[in-house]
């Protein structure tokens, strides 16, 4: 697979062309990806998500689907934000623009996501049971409910970044 995000300060996850997905570790075995006998696979359901983010039921929980474009994605715990690399000359340039992007973002409507704990971010085409053996990122989220909002921002002349921010509810 072509790597667009050069190795640097963060680990980046990319897909083979479809959406990325964050699935709670406890329900990973229930995500079949594109490997299913069903006519409408889990991967097909992920591809049908409209907008920047959406939720899909998985087991007794839900997965967060990163829609729109298959941009390289990482997580910034200090901002509780997934960062999606749409355009930038370097990781350093992209990350330097994140604070301004967060301040100026025109956020879309929120979805509420309840998680039982840590999640794995990976290509939605992979079955959850094999995700740990593929390119993935583990995000150590505390159990609870989160408000999730997303935006695409152009904080610099050659920098476009997608933001998916989590805000813990009622903890």
Query: What residue has token string 């309840």?
Result: 114
Structure pTM? 0.91
CB of 11 within 8 A of CB of 44?
A: no
Sequence spans of domains, the chain: 20-169
In the block, tokens 């879309």 appear at 108
64 forms bridges with which residues in the sheet?
A: 22, 55
Residue partners of 53: CB distance under 8 A and separation at least 6: 64, 65, 66, 67, 108, 111, 148, 150, 164
CB contact at 8 A, 66 and 164 = yes
pLDDT digit string (tens) for the chain, length 171 residues: 334 445 567 899 998 888 999 999 999 999 999 987 767 899 999 999 988 999 999 999 999 999 878 899 999 999 999 999 999 999 999 999 999 999 999 999 999 999 999 999 999 999 998 877 888 999 999 999 999 999 999 998 889 999 999 999 986
Cα(22)–Cα(120) distance, integer angstroms: 5
DSSP collapsed to 3 states, the chain? CCCCCCCCCCCCECCCCCCEEEEEHHHHHHCCCCCCCCCCCHHHHHHCCCCCEEEEEECCEEEEEECCCCCEEEEEHHHCEEEEEEECCCHHHHHHHHHHHHHHCCCCCCEEEEECCCEEEEECCCCHHHHHHCCEEEECCCCEEEEEEEEEEEEECCEEEEEEEEEEECC
């Amino acid at each position: 697979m072509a790597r667009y995000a050069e190795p640097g300060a963060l680990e980046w996850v990319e897909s083979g062309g479809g959406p990325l997905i964050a699935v709670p570790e406890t329900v990973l075995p229930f995500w079949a990806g594109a490997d299913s006998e069903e006519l409408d696979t889990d991967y097909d359901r992920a591809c049908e998500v409209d907008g920047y983010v959406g939720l899909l039921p998985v087991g007794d929980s839900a997965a967060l689907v990163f829609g729109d474009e298959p941009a390289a994605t990482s997580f910034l715990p200090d901002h509780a934000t997934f960062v999606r690399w749409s355009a930038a000359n370097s990781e350093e340039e992209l990350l330097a623009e994140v604070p301004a992007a967060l301040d100026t973002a025109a956020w879309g409507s929120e979805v509420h996501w309840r998680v039982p704990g840590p999640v794995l971010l990976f290509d939605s085409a992979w079955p959850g049971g094999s995700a740990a053996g593929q390119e993935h990122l583990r995000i150590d989220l505390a159990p609870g409910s989160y408000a999730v909002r997303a935006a695409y921002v152009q904080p610099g002349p050659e920098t476009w970044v997608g933001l998916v921010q989590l805000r813990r509810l009622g903890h």
